[in-house]
Structure 1
Amino acid sequence: MKIELPLPVPKASAYQYYAFPLAVNQTMHHSRDWIASNFIQVEFDTRGEHAPVPFSFTMSDYSVNPLLDVMSMSMSWFEDGDIVDSLKRALSDGWYIYTFFDEFYFPSRESYRQWEFVHDALIYGYDKEANAFLIYGYDKDLLLTSVWTHEREIYAAYMSAMQKDLSHSRVVLYRPNPRKEYPINLSLITRTIEEYLSGFNTSEHFAAGYVPRDFVYGVETYEPLKESLAQEFNDGEFLNLRNMQVLWEHKRLMLDRSVRLSESIPAIGELTPEFNHLADFTKSIRNALVQKRFSGSSLNRLELIADVDALKRKEIEALSKFHQLLAKY
Structure 2
Amino acid sequence: MKRELLSSVAVAMALLAPVSSAQNPLDFGSDIRTADPSAHVWQDGKMYLYTSHDEECQPDFFMKDWHVFSSTDLVNWTDHGAVLSVDDLSWADNYAWAPDAAYKDGKYYFVFPAGTGHKDRVNPEKSTKWMGIGVAVSDSPTGPFKDAIGEPLWREPYANDPALFIDDDGQAYLYFHGSNFDYYVAEMADDMRSIKGDFQKMDMGGHEPKMEGPWVFKRGDKYYFTMPEGNRVLTYYMADSPKGPWEYQGVIMEQEHESNNHHSIVEYKGQWLLFYHRWLDTPESDCNKKQRHVAAEYLQFNEDGTIQKVKRTKEGVSDFAERLKMAP
Q: TM-score under structure 1 normalisation?
A: 0.23
The higher-RCO structure (CA 8 Å, 6+ apart) is: 1
Which structure has the highest helix share of the two?
1
Which structure has the highest strand share of the two?
2
